Amino acid sequence: MIAMNNTTSSAAMQSGTPVFTQPGSVGVLLLHGYSGSPAELQPLGQTLAEAGYNIHAPLLAGHGSTPDALFGVRWEDWQRSAEDGLQYLRTMCPRVFICGFSAGGLLALRLAAREPVAGMITLAPALRLRGGGLLRLAGLLQYVMPWYYPLARANFNNPAVRAAVLERAPEAKLDDPAVVAAIRREAKVPVGSLYQLYRLQRAAQRDLPHIDVPTLIMQGRRDQTVDPRSAELVYRTIRSADKQLRWFEQSGHQLPKEAERTEVWATALAWLNAHTSVAETTPHRDSDIDPSRE
């Protein structure tokens, strides 16, 4: 067991180490996004751990270093990482919830359709990406263009671009033209891995009608990565009687870390608290979805 304090829980979350606050307590499995790491969900995980939940945020296969490490990794490998994390957490906790972000949200959907979990939270589920129609072509493109250079034409004066780069490389001197040139040249993603993301999207969408556990969906209106209509698709298609879609009007894709982050953490915590205290009561239906708004 890991003694709970801010320093320990933060370090544990970023390394993917389980954070156990008390034996036999409720567990929450946190699943990070494509090309990310458990650090994406560290603030949310720490909030839940400090409230008494046992947290495990496994590192998905091929993740945790540079994006080129995803070369040759299949979506089934990511799924296996999530399944292993769930099984491990179950050895410590009688009840487990799943919480997935972006592509991790797709893995959460698949687990919820197949495993007896207590409930699910999905943040910005990546069923559809903005401009993601080309993903389906990646299966062919990978043989003629094995690498994609996402920052080759990026505007390094854009604060969002700078923040995204510094999140992965905090020491990068982005005002140095030589450093920027090297990043443009060296930052690359395997095209085959993008095709694996497309395959995971298709698999997760097929699973939606089989999900009937309590579900909280959170989505930013200003998401420029995931098409916000993905959240509506999840809400409409799953069979859960107890489901809620919560919009965050000022947030983009990085819900757990953007302007409304404290509200995101509080929403997740309140939902978990409600479902651990009244888990066996009759399910209710609660949504603030507005189908007329994209």
162 burial via Cβ count (<10 Å: 0-12, 13-18, 19+): middle
Cα of 144 vs its chain's centroid, Å: 30
> Range with the lowest mean pLDDT among 9-23, 27-41, 138-152, 190-204?
138-152
What the chain holds in terms of domains, given with CATH numbers, is 6-131+199-277 (3.40.50.1820)
pLDDT (tens digit per residue) in 76-118: 999 999 999 999 999 889 899 999 999 999 999 999 999 999 9
Nearest residue to 233 via CA among 69, 100, 85, 109: 109
**CA–CA dist 91, 102 (Å, integer):** 26
Q: What's the pLDDT at 144?
A: 53
- b/e map of 132-141 (b: 16 or more CB within 10 Å)? beebeebeeb
* Mean pLDDT (whole number) for 149-166: 70
pLDDT of residue 294: 37
CA distances from 14 to 42, 110, 125, 147, 187 (A): 6, 24, 21, 28, 22
Compute the C-alpha angle 152/153/155, nearest 5°: 120
Task: Provide the β-strand partners of residue 29.
Answer: 56, 98
Q: Which residue has the higher pLDDT, 25 or 131?
A: 25
To 5 degrees, how large is the angle CA 121–CA 103–CA 118? 25
